[in-house]
């Protein structure tokens, strides 16, 4: 798929062993464990009537670790989910890193939508104007309530055009 390692882009304290399991005690996801959300009951609400994205995403190497690579040249909408690996306390900061390659669209003036939900509650989202240069999005949010290990974490990306993204991490501080 994307197969690019970005020189100088560090995954901070995040590390991976040969099995793909995270060595970071604060990682909330394992990129080997994502599953596509196929239900029309998608928490993000902008789901098209028909979504077919079986080959548009996969775990892949990125910088010093692994990421979830998403290639929206194959599909323009994706939501994936997995159970949280760890608890998040109310008031705890959660950090997110997403990289996107240059964004383009056949239709001018559109936006990409990136979002994360914990336990079906949208806790972070970002809208990106297209076209845009490649960029790293380092974001964080403070959990408004406790999220127990095992609650679903959903990652969503939706855009117009042949664009690529890498979810590098979702981790608690």
The pLDDT tens digits for 130-145 are 999 999 999 999 999 9
Residue 23: which pLDDT band, with cuts at 50, 70 and 90?
low
Q: What is the pLDDT of residue 11?
A: 36
Q: What is the pLDDT of residue 74?
A: 82
- pLDDT tens for residues 36-88? 988 877 888 778 877 778 788 999 998 888 999 999 988 888 999 999 999 99
Tell which phi-psi region holds residue 150, choosing left (phi > 0), alpha (psi between -120 and 50) or beta.
left
Residue 18 confidence (pLDDT) above 60: no
Cβ neighbours of residue 143 closer than 8 Å, sequence gap 6 or more: 88, 89, 90, 91, 92, 93, 94, 118, 123
**CATH numbers and ranges of domains, the chain:** 35-172 (2.60.120)
Residue 35 confidence (pLDDT) above 80: yes
CA distance 66 to 34: 13
Q: What is the pLDDT of residue 54?
A: 79
Task: Tell me what the mean pLDDT of segment 168-172 comes to.
Answer: 97
In degrees, rounded to 5, the angle at the alpha carbon of residue 68 between the alpha carbons of residues 63 and 72 is: 110
Q: What is the pTM of this model?
A: 0.85
CA distance 63 to 58: 16
Residue 161: which pLDDT band, with cuts at 50, 70 and 90?
confident
């Amino acid at each position: 798929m994307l197969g690019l390692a970005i020189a100088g882009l560090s995954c901070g304290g995040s590390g991976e062993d040969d099995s793909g399991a995270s060595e970071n005690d604060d990682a909330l996801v394992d990129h080997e464990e994502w599953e596509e959300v196929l239900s029309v009951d998608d928490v993000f609400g902008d789901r098209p009537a028909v979504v077919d994205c079986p080959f548009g995403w996969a775990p892949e190497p990125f910088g010093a670790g692994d990421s979830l690579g998403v290639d929206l040249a194959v599909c323009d909408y994706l939501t994936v989910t997995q159970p949280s690996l760890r608890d998040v306390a109310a008031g705890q900061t959660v950090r997110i890193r997403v990289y996107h390659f240059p964004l383009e669209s056949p239709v001018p003036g559109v936006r990409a939508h990136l979002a994360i939900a914990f336990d079906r509650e949208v806790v972070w989202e970002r809208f990106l104007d297209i076209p845009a240069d490649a960029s790293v999005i380092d974001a964080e949010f403070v959990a408004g309530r406790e999220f127990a290990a095992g609650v679903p974490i959903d990652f969503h990306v939706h855009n117009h055009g042949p664009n690529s993204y890498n979810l590098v991490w979702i981790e608690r501080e």
